[in-house]
Amino acid sequence: MQPLHGLRIIEFDGLGPVTFAGMMLADMGAEVFRLTRSESAAPAVFDQVGGSVLHRGRAAVPVDLKNPADQTRILALIDGVDAVIEGFRPGVMERLGFGPEALQARNPALVFGRVTGWGQTGPLAQAVGHDLNYIGLSGVLHAMGEADRPPTPPLNLIGDYGGGAMMLVTGVLAALIEAKATGRGRVVDAAMTDGSALLGGLFQALREQGMWSDRRGANLLDGGAPFYRCYACRDGGFVAVAALEPRFYAALLDGLRISPETAPQYDMDGWPALHARFADLFAQRDRDDWARLFDGTEACVTPVLSLMEAPDHPHNRARGVFDQRLPGPAPRFDGARNTPRHSSAVGLDEAVALWTARSSDQPG
């Protein structure tokens, strides 16, 4: 049994962070109904994108949010849930009659989780945007990439998933703990700009102390340090080198057959020349040759695997990280791997009847 077993959550279907958050909550045992667009409402948007992962573990319930009959049945569902999560632009849920004030008047303990790019307030609250725009405003995007090139988009991991979904899940779970104790729900305002700025907090703090430069590729963790970056190998593959601590750096130098006296670790003026020296050495052997050479050492050198290769790595296979080549739930509880539940589909009337029947079976 998973930790969130018994919790009921309504997810108003969307893209990006709300979908990822719904997946995580379902993976941890919550019973989630994902309200999707019915054919009478509008064609689904990218319904199948990532669906085998992002939509797993919960039932899709087609609805027309503007249809009065559907609205009534949705309210009946929400009356018996612990939380609602949604990712519409500010004001949309209120106009549909599903805003937090209206829903918490019916269900005072309801936790209402909202995730947007800019947040519920502020000059940009109603502006359009995507993940890249939000992390651009947070300062985090500027720090990513090579010094002589434009910032590199970090997929959508920082804004959508790190600054959005993870902050939403954290906020909803915190509010649920409080609601169980007080009987009063909260409105969780998770903005991707806020969340990605928080993720970059360490670097802002270092910058304030004069220990981080705004110049990309010139710092300890952004590829500026020759012992913390990726290198190309002879076969076109790459290795990740993360020899931060002195003893790990010593193991790296030993594997590369470099005398420590000729390669001081924290001589920043010497970093460009040392980077070139490392790059030349790594280019002389294939990626997997380097992986074998450093295997079992403390050099912190590992192969950079492609998405296709990752499921077949022995460590990932041993832990069952992937299920049919798709990533399984994380984190684990008590060390046990949770088998992902498959998605399903139910009608709105069926969903109401199902939860109503289960509610009547509860003691007290």
pLDDT tens digits, residue range 169-211?
999 999 999 999 999 999 999 999 999 999 999 999 999 999 9
- Catalytic site residue 130? yes
Between 51 and 327, residue with greater pLDDT = 327
Mean pLDDT across 18-42: 89
318 pLDDT more than 70: yes
Q: Which of 39-43, 73-77, 248-252, 346-350 has the highest mean pLDDT?
A: 248-252
Amino acid making up residue 238: F
User: 183: which residues sit within 8 A by CB, 6+ positions away?
Assistant: 108, 109
Residue 130 has pLDDT above 60, yes or no: yes
Residue by residue, DSSP assigns 220-261 as TTTT-STTEEEEE-TTS-EEEEE--SHHHHHHHHHHHT--GG
- Taking the C-alpha atoms of residue 34 and residue 60, their distance in angstroms, rounded to an integer, is 5
Active-site annotation holder among 64, 79, 130, 142: 130
- Catalytic residue from among 13, 160, 194, 222: 160
DSSP summary character for residue 334? T
Residues 172 and 82: beta-carbon distance below 8 Å: no
Q: Residue 217 has what pLDDT?
A: 93
Tokens read off for 127: 């502006």
Q: Which single residue is written with the structure tokens 């009356």?
A: 79
Query: What is the predicted pLDDT for the residue at 359?
Result: 64
pLDDT score of 46 more than 50: no
Q: Which residue has the higher pLDDT, 323 or 253?
A: 253
* Closest of 160, 74, 77 to residue 117, by C-alpha: 160
What does the pLDDT look like over 103-126, one tens digit per residue?
Answer: 999 999 999 999 999 999 999 999
